[in-house]
C-alpha cells in the first residue's frame, strides 16, 4: 500500500530548487524553528528539516499538502496518536533486526526469524488499525479520509487473521511440529528451482490405514518416489533440498515483510512532518504569534504581498515577537532595502524569506496574511565571518558563494542578499552590485537586497526602473528606530552622533511597539488541541521594554 498524505498520487519528484541547504538554515535561523517542530524527537526534527528545505514547484501538490495540514492541525491529538503507534512498530522491528543481525544461519532459524518479524508487523498492523477505527470520522478532509478507507480495505480483519495463522504454522513447522509441502523443478545444473509453497499444516500423527485406503493411496500417488533415509548420500541430498525449500520460504516471507515495512516507514516519515507542523503551530498560537495559510498562485507575476510578516526564527528563539512589517510586491522584481544600522532590515528580509520557504512547502506562515507566487529556485546570500584560516578575505569568500549560486539560478528564481559586497570600497562595491542586480533583473529573477552601498542604491533609484521597489528602515522625527520598513528614497546610513551616544553615553533606543502584533489573526485555523504554557512564557510588558534584535 502506498501512502499519499504528503504528496498527490500522480506527483513526480522534482529537481532540488534549494541546493544550498546549510546556507538556508544558517541565514534564516531555522534551527530554533526545527527544534520546536521536533519537540525532543530527533526523527521528527530531521524529517521536518528535510521537507522544509525541499520547497515545491507543483501548485496542485502544494495545495494537497496545505489541505492535509489544515486537517492535521484540527486533529493534532489524533496525528500524535497515529505517529506514536507507527514509530513504535518501526522501532520494534529495527531493534529485532539489530539483535538478530549475526544470528544462526541455519535455514530453519532463518524461517523462524522471518516469522518473528512478520508477527511483529502483524501486531503493528492491528494496533494501527485499532487507532484508525477509534478515530474514524475525526478527519473532515479527503486526504486523511482516503488513507483511512484504503488502509481498512487492504488490511481488513481477514488479512490480519491470515497473517497470524500462517505465522503460527510456520513457527510450528520450524520446530518440527508441522508440515510444509513445497513443489519445484529441476533447473540449470540439476539444481532445484521454481519453488512454490503448496501446503502449511499442523503435524498429523501417523495411524494405521486399512487395505482399501492403502490401495486408493497407491493409485493416487503411483508417480511418487519415496526416498529411504538409510542411504547417507540420498539423505544429504534431501537435506539440501529441504534447506533450499526453507530458504525459499524465508525469502518469500522476508519480501512480504519488506513491503509492509516500507509502508510503515513511509507513513512514519509523512506523519512526522504533520506532527512537527502541529507542534510548531500550537507553539505559535500559545505565544500569541500571528499565523495564517497563504494563498499561493502561479501567474508568473513575481508578486509577494502580506501583512505583519515577522522573523519566526528570532521569535521562537527569543520568545518574543519582533516588530512586524507589511509588504506589497505588485509584480516587483527587485527590492532594495537601505537605512540606519540595526534598523531591522535583516530581520525583515529573513521574515519574507522564511515565509516564502514555508509557503512553498505547503505550510502556514508567520504573518497575518500572505499572497505569493511559486518560485523555481530559492537562494540566500548573507554576510559571513572572515575565513578562520585566513586563506580568503571576506569579499573573495562572498564572491565564491555567489558564483555557485549563479550557476544554479534561472528565470523565475528568488534570491535574498544581505549586506553583500560591503567589504570592499564603495566604488568597487557599487560596480559589482550594479552588475549583479541588473543581471538578476534582466533574467526575471526576484531579488531582495539589503545594502549599505548608497551610491549603488541612489543610482538605481534615480534611474526610475520599473518593477523596482525601494524600502528603508523607518526612523521617527526624534531619531528613534521603529524597526519597520517604509517605501522611500535610499538614505545615507551613517549616524555618527547616534552611535556616539549609544556607545559612549550608553543611551538605548526603545522601539515603538505595535499592539496589533499580538492580535490573533482572524483567518487562523482553530484547534481544540490544548497544551500547557509555562508561566512567564510570553510577557508583553517585558517585550515592550526589551531591546530589539540586532542585525
Q: Residue 229 in contact with residue 241, Cβ under 8 Å?
A: no
Tell me which H or E stretch contains 481. strand 481-487
Residue 478 lies in a domain: yes
Q: How many domains does the chain have?
A: 1
Residue 444 and residue 426: Cα distance in Å, rounded? 26
Per-residue DSSP letters for 72-88? HHHTHHHHHHHHHHHHH
Per-residue DSSP letters for 377-409? -EEEEE--PPPTTSSS-HHHHHHHHHHHHHHH-
Tell me which H or E stretch contains 373. strand 369-373
**Nearest 5 degrees, angle CA 326-CA 331-CA 332?**
70
Residue 336 lies in a domain: yes
Q: Residue 329 in contact with residue 339, Cβ under 8 Å?
A: no
pLDDT of residue 248: 65
Residue 12 lies in a domain: no
Alpha-carbon distance values, 113 to 99, 163, 490 (Å):
11, 15, 72
DSSP conformation class of 424: S
Residue 414 and residue 81: Cα distance in Å, rounded? 38
The gap from C-alpha 201 to its chain's centroid, in whole angstroms, comes to 46
pLDDT of residue 394: 80
Residue 405 lies in a domain: yes
Residue 485 lies in a domain: yes
φ and ψ at 20, to 5 degrees?
A: -100, 75
Residue 44 lies in a domain: no
Alpha-carbon distance values, 224 to 29, 49, 85, 219, 220 (Å):
75, 63, 50, 10, 9
Furthest-apart CA atoms within the chain: distance in Å:
119
Q: What pTM did the predictor assign? A: 0.80
pLDDT of residue 65: 97
Q: At what angle do helices 59-74 and 232-286 cross, to 10 degrees?
A: 80
Residue 128 lies in a domain: no
Domain interval for residue 432: 287-525+540-545
For each of the chain's 551 residues, which pLDDT tens digit applies?
899 999 999 999 889 999 999 999 999 999 999 999 999 999 999 999 999 999 999 999 999 999 999 999 999 999 999 999 999 999 999 898 888 776 666 776 777 777 788 888 888 999 999 999 999 999 999 999 999 999 999 988 787 777 777 667 666 665 555 566 667 777 777 676 776 665 555 545 444 444 444 444 444 455 555 656 566 666 676 666 666 666 666 677 778 888 899 999 999 999 999 999 999 999 999 999 999 999 998 777 788 999 999 999 999 999 999 999 999 988 899 999 998 888 899 999 999 999 999 999 999 999 999 999 999 999 999 987 655 554 557 888 889 999 999 999 999 999 999 989 887 888 899 999 999 999 999 999 999 999 989 999 999 999 999 999 999 998 877 778 888 999 989 876 544 445 455 555 555 444 443 333 333 434 444 343 333 333 333 333 333 333 344 33
- CATH assignment at residue 386: 3.40.50.300
Residue 158 lies in a domain: no
19 class by beta-carbon count within 10 Å (0-12 exposed, 13-18 middle, 19+ buried)? middle
pLDDT of residue 540: 35
Q: Which of 15, 523, 534, 80 is nearest to 279 (CA)?
A: 80
Instruction: Strand 446-450: give its sheet, edge to edge.
Output: 378-382, 414-418, 446-450, 334-338, 468-475, 481-487
Residue 345 and residue 235: Cα distance in Å, rounded? 84
pLDDT of residue 518: 34
Residue 85 and residue 42: Cα distance in Å, rounded? 17
Amino acid at each position: 500500500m502506498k501512502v499519499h498524505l504528503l504528496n498527490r498520487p500522480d506527483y513526480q519528484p522534482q529537481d532540488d530548487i534549494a541546493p544550498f541547504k546549510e546556507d538556508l538554515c544558517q541565514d534564516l535561523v531555522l534551527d530554533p524553528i526545527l527544534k520546536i517542530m521536533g519537540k525532543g524527537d530527533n526523527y521528527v526534527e530531521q524529517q521536518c528539516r528535510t521537507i522544509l528545505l525541499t520547497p515545491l514547484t507543483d501548485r496542485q501538490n502544494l495545495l494537497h499538502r496545505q489541505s492535509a495540514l489544515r486537517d492535521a492541525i484540527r486533529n493534532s491529538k489524533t496525528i500524535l496518536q497515529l505517529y506514536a503507534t507507527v514509530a513504535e512498530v518501526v522501532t520494534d522491528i529495527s531493534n529485532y533486526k539489530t539483535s538478530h543481525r549475526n544470528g544462526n544461519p541455519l535455514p530453519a532459524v532463518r524461517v523462524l526469524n522471518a516469522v518473528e518479524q512478520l508477527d511483529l508487523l502483524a501486531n503493528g498492523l492491528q494496533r494501527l488499525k485499532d487507532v484508525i477505527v477509534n478515530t474514524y470520522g475525526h478527519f473532515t478532509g479527503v486526504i486523511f479520509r482516503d488513507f483511512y478507507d484504503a488502509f481498512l480495505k487492504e488490511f481488513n480483519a481477514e488479512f490480519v487473521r491470515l497473517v497470524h495463522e500462517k505465522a503460527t504454522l510456520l513457527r510450528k513447522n520450524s520446530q518440527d511440529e508441522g508440515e510444509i509441502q513445497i513443489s519445484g523443478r529441476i533447473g540449470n545444473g540439476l539444481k532445484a528451482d521454481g519453488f512454490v509453497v503448496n501446503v502449511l499444516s499442523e503435524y498429523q500423527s501417523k495411524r494405521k490405514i486399512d487395505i482399501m485406503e492403502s490401495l486408493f493411496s497407491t493409485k493416487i500417488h503411483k508417480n511418487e518416489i519415496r526416498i529411504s533415509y538409510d542411504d547417507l548420500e540420498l539423505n544429504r541430498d534431501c537435506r539440501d533440498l529441504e534447506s533450499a525449500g526453507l530458504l525459499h520460504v524465508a525469502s518469500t516471507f522476508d519480501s512480504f515483510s519488506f513491503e509492509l515495512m516500507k509502508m510503515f516507514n513511509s507513513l512514519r516519515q509523512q506523519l512526522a512532518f504533520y506532527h512537527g507542523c502541529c507542534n510548531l503551530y500550537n507553539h505559535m498560537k500559545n505565544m500569541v504569534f500571528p499565523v495564517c495559510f497563504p494563498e499561493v498562485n502561479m501567474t508568473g507575476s513575481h508578486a509577494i504581498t502580506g501583512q505583519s510578516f515577522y522573523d519566526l526564527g528570532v521569535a521562537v528563539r527569543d520568545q518574543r515577537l519582533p516588530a512586524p512589517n507589511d509588504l506589497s510586491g505588485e509584480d516587483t522584481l527587485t527590492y532594495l532595502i537601505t537605512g540606519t544600522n540595526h534598523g531591522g532590515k535583516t530581520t525583515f528580509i529573513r521574515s519574507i524569506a522564511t515565509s516564502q520557504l514555508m509557503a512553498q512547502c505547503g505550510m502556514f506562515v508567520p504573518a497575518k496574511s500572505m499572497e505569493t507566487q511559486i518560485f523555481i529556485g530559492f537562494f540566500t546570500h548573507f554576510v559571513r565571518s572572515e575565513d578562520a584560516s585566513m586563506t580568503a578575505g571576506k569579499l573573495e569568500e562572498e564572491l565564491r558563494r555567489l558564483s555557485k549560486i549563479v550557476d544554479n539560478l534561472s528565470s523565475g528564481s528568488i534570491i535574498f542578499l544581505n549586506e553583500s559586497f560591503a567589504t570592499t570600497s564603495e566604488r568597487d562595491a557599487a560596480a559589482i552590485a550594479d552588475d549583479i542586480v541588473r543581471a538578476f533583473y534582466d533574467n526575471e529573477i526576484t531579488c531582495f537586497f539589503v545594502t549599505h552601498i548608497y551610491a549603488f542604491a541612489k543610482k538605481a533609484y534615480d534611474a526610475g526602473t520599473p518593477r523596482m521597489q525601494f524600502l528603508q528602515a523607518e526612523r521617527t522625527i526624534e531619531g528613534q528606530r521603529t524597526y519597520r520598513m517604509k517605501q522611500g528614497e535610499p538614505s545615507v546610513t551613517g549616524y555618527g552622533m547616534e552611535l556616539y551616544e549609544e556607545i559612549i553615553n550608553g543611551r538605548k533606543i526603545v522601539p515603538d511597539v505595535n499592539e496589533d502584533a499580538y492580535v490573533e489573526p482572524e483567518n487562523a485555523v482553530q484547534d481544540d488541541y490544548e497544551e500547557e504554557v509555562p508561566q512567564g512564557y510570553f510577557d508583553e510588558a517585558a517585550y515592550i521594554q526589551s531591546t530589539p534584535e540586532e542585525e
